[in-house]
Structure 1
């Protein structure tokens, strides 16, 4: 009984503490100018992932921009797109690979939804919501490898796709691990623990620059090269890799610029900013802030300028190579 009373007292105490805590938001001292989402999309954004967005009418947006020639089947959402194929899935576990004309190349049903996938030639690398990784020959409709990683309880919405290298495939898991798989045999050669948090521990960023493999969860960034493995601990909102630079967007409003060795080159604080997306193009870094701003700096994080949207970024958004897409509109940065 005493334990129950103690628990109830603690719960009430925490409730009042929580109610008394007011969230603080970014408030600029001055704004350089206003910016508007000046172009219309044919439909509203339905879903997003690091590779692209699906519109409610079935059209898609990739890093290269809006593609109205693609129309996904009802209930399906874009996972990834290569030059000649589109990968989509639905919540029921159905996976479809089609050519750019809409003709199905491969279709299969899985026990749980496929949440990320990449294609190279006949090989499809996929990760399911149950944290199972697959290697599939889509021409032969044959599963070459499947492996169940550890149980997961919650996932960050930013789920990245497997990465094909010359002879290897890098699989980002949902439990903070990376699996390195031999492409021709489907054999798992190595697994690397990026972080071991119990919740929201999936890989949110994965890229390879030269000999450096860069991966991150919401708690840790690592860089692996033949010489060593480097670590950076932080509360991470987003990561952007650009040539020899890594930009770390932290949940406290700080942007940290490092080299590939994770040596800090510069740092810029936007107090209480909630980072959404970022893009490096034409010697500028553009950072979208959810309460309705875009920060523009040079690639060294110097000479910051602040642009203001006419509203907050309250719904799904996606950053392409040179444009920002939100709701049913977009703005070009070139």
Structure 2
């Protein structure tokens, strides 16, 4: 028995020492461009970010179109969930949601039991999703709740949460348990649900788009493409999804980028060994990718002719991708 305990202790010790001696692998490109990136200091560092906007620590707001005028500010602790038609949707960790205009005039406010993690507005209809995985459809003109529905319990979620989509007579809600809820906009009635993936943890929908007659939704483990003719899936460790016209760029956690059509049929892939993708966008005929350890990757839309630029430092905060800039830490990076 004593001999067995000695052997077991030796095995455990070796395992621990082996784990401790494992060297972390980093993205170390050898063909970095000499040209410097166009990084500019922001007035303050990023406090909160969503897929549709960011708020600086001084309250200033960044939307897809860029950093807004300094007189437009959101309260401390707010997250900008969405912006459109001159209206801002923001929330805080206590569940307070506010819709206001660029004059900081409050158009609607409501307190929820949990923080609101994504939202969208069309006319007087507000679609929202809370951290407790409850979807709401609210008429903000009358404060009438047209729909309140709680999906499955969630135990952990990714910080990226897609926003609901309004489409003619429908509202498409992403959930935190890997589903899509299709709702009748006028009646607030759920017409159908679609399961994207069924993982127990970190299974929220991180990307939701409709292109022509095709809906594409993704979690961190699976992408689904649905059109009137067929439904197809792509499985993988998914970091981000970028859709540009008829093409889908799938960024994987192992440093691979897969280019596919809208039916998720692979056209080509490219591999950046050990790269940790943080965010990506298409601008002016190129795909741009922020790499967490401090690089900007630029390729053409066919994933050829990659060029890599070194940033001033590693990316430590959340990243927001604007239409032609990345925002991170206390920097903006203009894409050219």
TM-score range, shorter chain: over 0.9
Q: 1:49 to 1:11 in 2, by over 3 A?
A: farther
**Deviation of 1:18 (Å):** 3.8
* 1:214-262 Cα distance to aligned partner (Å, 9 max, x none): 1000000110111111100010011100001100000111000001111
Matched, 1:140 2:142: yes
* 1:119-152 Cα distance to aligned partner (Å, 9 max, x none): 0000000000000000000000111100000000
> Which 10-residue stretch deviates more, 166-175 or 312-321?
312-321
**Deviation of 1:157 (Å):** 0.5
Structure 2 spans left out of the alignment, 5+ residues: none
- Is residue 80–residue 88 contact of structure 2 (8 Å, CA) maintained in 1? yes
**Deviation of 1:282 (Å):** 1.2
Equivalent residues in 2 for 1:158-307, closer than 5 Å: 158-307=160-309
- Is residue 50–residue 79 contact of structure 2 (8 Å, CA) maintained in 1? no
Structure 1 spans left out of the alignment, 5+ residues: none
**Deviation of 1:328 (Å):** 1.7
- Is residue 48–residue 78 contact of structure 2 (8 Å, CA) maintained in 1? no
CA distance in 2, matches of 1:158, 1:231: 20
Segments of 4+ moved more than 3 angstroms: 8-18
**Deviation of 1:33 (Å):** 2.3
Count of residues in correspondence between the two structures: 328
* 1:15-71 Cα distance to aligned partner (Å, 9 max, x none): 555434322111112212243453222211001111011111111111111112421
Report the 3-state secondary structure (helix = DSSP H, G, I; strand = E; otherwise coil) of the residue aligned with 2:48. strand
**Deviation of 1:281 (Å):** 1.2
- Structure 2 length-normalised TM: 0.93
Equivalence for 2:31: 30
After superposition, the CA RMSD in angstroms is: 1.8
CA distance in 1, matches of 2:131, 2:304: 41
Equivalence for 2:125: 123
**Deviation of 1:170 (Å):** 0.6
Equivalence for 1:41: 42
- Is residue 35–residue 310 contact of structure 1 (8 Å, CA) maintained in 2? no
CA distance in 1, matches of 2:15, 2:185: 51
- Is residue 34–residue 309 contact of structure 1 (8 Å, CA) maintained in 2? no
Report the 3-state secondary structure (helix = DSSP H, G, I; strand = E; otherwise coil) of the residue aligned with 2:129. strand
- Is residue 37–residue 309 contact of structure 2 (8 Å, CA) maintained in 1? no
> Which 10-residue stretch deviates more, 265-274 or 309-318?
309-318
Q: 1:162 to 1:36 in 2, by over 3 A?
A: same
- Is residue 87–residue 102 contact of structure 2 (8 Å, CA) maintained in 1? yes
- Is residue 323–residue 331 contact of structure 1 (8 Å, CA) maintained in 2? yes
